[in-house]
Structure 1
Amino acid sequence: MNTKYFDLINQTFDFPQEEFKLEDNQLQFHDINLMALVEQYGAPLKFTYLPKISENILRAKKWFAKSMKEQDYKGTYNYCYCTKSSHFKHVLNEALKNDIHIETSSAFDIDIVENLKAEGKITDKTYVICNGFKREQYITNITRLINGGQENCIPVIDNYEELDLLSEGIEGDFKVGIRIASEEEPKFEFYTSRLGIGYKNIVPFYEDQIKNNDKVELKMLHFFINTGIRDNAYYWNELVKCLRVYTKLKKVCPSLDSLNIGGGFPIKNSLAFDYDYQYMIDEIINQIKITCEEEEVPVPNIFTEFGSFTVGESGGAIYEILYQKQQNDREKWNMINSSFITTLPDTWAISKRFIMMAINRWNDTYERVLLGGLTCDSDDYYNSEQNMNAIYLPKYKKEQPLYIGFFNTGAYQESIGGFGGLQHCLVPSPKHILIDKDADGNITTKLFSEQQTSEHLLGILGY
């Protein structure tokens, strides 16, 4: 009878996989010995595997290049990194090795851009796409960047006042984009995104405020829907509506030459994850080309703003099971030595699922459990692994420590969790390790941040 944890994973999923394999009864992630990390740095532990960032960027570039070549698409492709997914310097440094561009969403993003520019990571020719609702500080910073020579900085107009505010501060001519306020999925509580300008108002806005303004050149139409790039009727319907606006606007605005389709590529959230990226890109390119040919306008250059896709699969978290609580005849709670609310806040906020597996003891028998965090909050738990509707782990044994890993957690979790700040119930942020490869392909590790101390937390509180 197959009762070992390895048997469960092997029978349930296609295993091993590209990034996961087993060696000496222990889980390896991109050939990283995770138990060696635990032995060196302890747990709880968060890590970032930097080479995965470059790998995903190059994958997307390859897919778009292949599709454009096969379909004889005349426009160019520009990969932008959505900085709000992870603003950390080590993330930007790795991403910018791959000839990419930047998308910003708030005022302090511009300070990061200027820092990167001073270090030679980006140039005046790097595209800086400025999204978001822009108020005084953001406007001030954008104008400073453009006045400083960032020739390819493109503020994307989100509301009717922004154009005048930008014009007041920018000394010479400048380029802009316009964001379409897409209609949300029917299940949403509202019909139209709060971001951007409505479909029907795009052309009138251009004709009223941009067409006769010699200082402003409209270059880009921006399109993004909250659910991301999915192969469903809703996405294709919204894309076609966007393309109709683009072709209509192009006919009255010769300077318009770029379509930004935003972000939204999903990342692997289960060992059963299945998404055909190449097919989706082929279909998007095809739809754009068909619509432009029908309307007899040139195809646009394409921009994307992949955030989670860029950095998400580089991150992970490792916890130790501290104790097991048998709360009734059926429910066993395995308590981790940290908190889900503070270290993986999306599990609590939007019920997001990550890949979760045991790190060690794969030859042990397994049991069904629930996972609980250390805070005194009833919502601090993680109770179902994607596509399994339950969590199965090697049986708890007090004398044999069990470690578990959550994978592909690299996007948003640190910023939403308040990295370096206060944590719920004052549960400290864990250590964070950067993992890289040297010139010979050997794995290297470096401590990025220590686990928070009580002195640090009390200092924030004013004690």
Structure 2
Amino acid sequence: MKSYADLIDQTFDFPNDEFHVKDNELYFHNVRLTEIIKQYGTPLKLTYLPKIGQNIQKAKKLFEGAISKNKYKGSYTYCYCTKSSHFEFVLDQVVKNGAHIETSSAFDIPIVKKLYEKGQIDKDFYILCNGFKRPLYTDYIVDLINQGFKNCIPILDNMKEFDIYNDRVDNEFQIGIRVAADEEPNFEFYTSRLGIRYKDINDFYLSTIQPNKKAKLKMLHFFINTGIKDTAYYWSELSRFMYKYCDLKKVCPELDTIDIGGGFPIKTSLHFEFDYEYITDQIVQNIQWICNKNHVPTPNIITEFGTYTVGESGAVLYSVLDRKLQNDKELWYMIDGSFITHLPDIWGVNQKFIMLPVNQWDDNFHKVNIGGLTCDSMDYYNSEAHSSEVFLPIANNGGQLYIGFFHTGAYQESLGGYGGIQHCLIPAPKHVIIDKHENGKVHSYLFNEDQSSESMLKTLGY
């Protein structure tokens, strides 16, 4: 039987920019993971900070290149969706790399204020305020605008929302309108619950916004759940949106920006293939072609990348605690953590991540199921994005086997209830940050210890 290293070598284009194996051990961005495990233990979440900046700069370069190539008359702005990960170390990398932000709820706004107090942003910074807004959220938005954050732009989710800003903002202000896009054909609903219907937008502008002396309609926004993909559905929705923009631009001269949402995909398998340059060029070309056809100036372009920004920076490392053969052919590797609590997208939406052993690559391999610690029958992982099976080293030679799930940096902490009550009271693991000094030397530090029983008991009222 071949080794696990042979299996990977014959299945994938491996090694690559992120992963390589040396002396039977896996390296992630040239970081020796067994050293991290030896220092901090498992289960362990880690964030490799340089990857955040790399992806931001990559997308900016792609759009700026497409704009230059097509002689597109309009600018590009990269925004980060804070809901993907709200951690301070993430937002620090975001603003350092010249990205602006998009918010989703009231508690995002105090984060904005913290960034301003620390001198990391100024009052020209773009703050795009999305979502269906409760009173506290609109209160905070009004406060920001009145404090001089001139590019704090509330994106109207419904027509009544406009009255709040009109009544309470002191001076001129900018707004956007979210268009209620059609959902993917196989979705349970035909049209998104968020945004204003296409047919209502022009009448709403002409009757309410245009006569107003303070409000300026700056932006039209759309977002589709599937993200940016080379499919008939995506191009159809983008084209429909652009025709609406052109229609509205003819009666609204101050409208000069489109927000095309987000959705650059990330690698969930070593088999991943996506032509980012081609897609970016096609987006710019399609926008330009539709505007030229309608004799309308091309707009400035904003994107909101969340998972793409932070997803590939994250990883979770586990120890295999035991091997259990439950019948003639189903072998279980039991780990020292839980998918439901640590990686809830695996359980909730059948999300796949890149999964690799950290050590023992020279050992033979076999098919396994990976089981989590909770008592829930759904706490398992038994297939990968490229295959309906999972293979791991047999580890017959003794020693502790470690495994890692990679590109887990988006959403998992917030969906898992980081710092709160976990299923079966499984504690949140410690979190380690990996960064580089200016001289290129890698260093790590502990962001947070694993969750204590005391913190859980306090939350539970004991």
Q: Give CA-to-partner distance per residue, 1:314-349, whole Å, 9 cap, x none.
A: 000000110111111111011110000000000000
Number of the residue aligned with 1:174: 173
Map of 1:323 onto structure 2 = 322
* Cα drift, residue 27 of structure 1: 0.3
Q: Which residue of 2 is the match for residue 436 of structure 1?
A: 435
How far, CA to CA, are the matches of 1:164 and 1:349 in structure 2? Answer: 38
C-alpha contact (below 8 Å) 1:345/1:413 kept by paired residues: yes
Q: Which runs of 5+ in 2 are unaligned?
A: none
Give the deviation of 1:461 after TM superposition: 1.0
Q: Deviations over 1:214-253 (max 9, x none)?
A: 1100000001101100100000000110001000000000
Indicate the residue corresponding to 2:128 in structure 1. 129
Distance 1:288 1:243 in 2: 7
Distance 1:309 1:26 in 2: 27
Match of 1:407 in 2: 406
| Contact 1:323 1:398 (C-alpha < 8 Å) held by counterparts | no
Tell me, in whole angstroms, the C-alpha distance in 2 between the residues paired with 1:120 and 1:149.
15
Paired letter, 1:336: I
Correspondence 1:188 to 2:187:
yes
For 1:266, the equivalent position in structure 2 comes to 265
Which runs of 5 or more residues in structure 1 are unaligned? none
Describe how 1:74-153 pairs up with structure 2 within 5 A: 74-153=73-152
Please tell me the residue identity of whatever aligns with 1:316: A
Deviation at 1:397, TM superposition (A): 4.4
Asked whether the equivalents of residues 324 and 396 of structure 1 are also in contact (C-alpha less than 8 Å), the reply is no
Q: Return the alpha-carbon distance in structure 1 between the equivalents of residues 191 and 385 of structure 2.
A: 30
Q: Bigger shift: 346-355 or 396-405?
A: 396-405
Instruction: Give the C-alpha shift of residue 107 in structure 1.
Output: 0.4
Write the mapping of 1:257-296 to structure 2, written as runs, cut at 5 A: 257-296=256-295
Q: TM-score, normalised by structure 1?
A: 0.99
In the aligned structure 2, how far is the partner of 1:87 from the partner of 1:456?
A: 21
Residue 336 in structure 1 maps to residue 335 in structure 2: yes
Could you give the per-residue CA deviations for residues 155-198 of structure 1, whole angstroms, max 9, x where no partner exists?
A: 00001110001222211110000000000011011100001011
1:56-71 mapped onto 2 (5 Å cutoff):
56-71=55-70
Question: Which amino acid is 1:405 matched to?
Answer: G
Cα distance in 2 for residues equivalent to 1:123 and 1:258: 21
Instruction: Give the AA of the match of 1:70.
Output: K
The alpha-carbon deviation at position 202 of structure 1 amounts to 1.2
Give 4+ residue runs of structure 1 displaced > 6 Å after superposition: none
Question: Which SS does the other structure have where 2:170 is aligned?
Answer: coil
Cα distance in 1 for partners of 2:241, 2:69 equals 24
Mapping 1:302-317, distance limit 5 Å? 302-317=301-316
**CA-atom RMSD in angstroms:** 0.8
CA contact (8 A) 2:94 2:100 kept: no
Match of 1:236 in 2: 235
- Aligned partner of residue 107 in structure 2, secondary structure: helix
Structure 1 CA distance for aligned equivalents of residues 64 and 230 of structure 2: 20
- Quickly say closer, same or farther: Cα 1:398–1:159, change in 2 above 3 A: farther
Distance 2:331 2:395 in 1: 10
Q: Distance in 2 between matches of 1:68 and 1:346?
A: 35
Q: Which residue of 1 aligns with 2:13?
A: 14
Q: Between Structure 1 and Structure 2, how many residues are aligned?
A: 462
State the partner residue of 1:27.
26
Aligned residues of 1:432 and 1:450 also touching (Cα < 8 A):
yes
Give the structure 1 partner of residue 223 of structure 2. 224
Which TM-score applies when normalising by structure 2? 0.99
Alpha-carbon offset, residue 399 of structure 1? 3.6
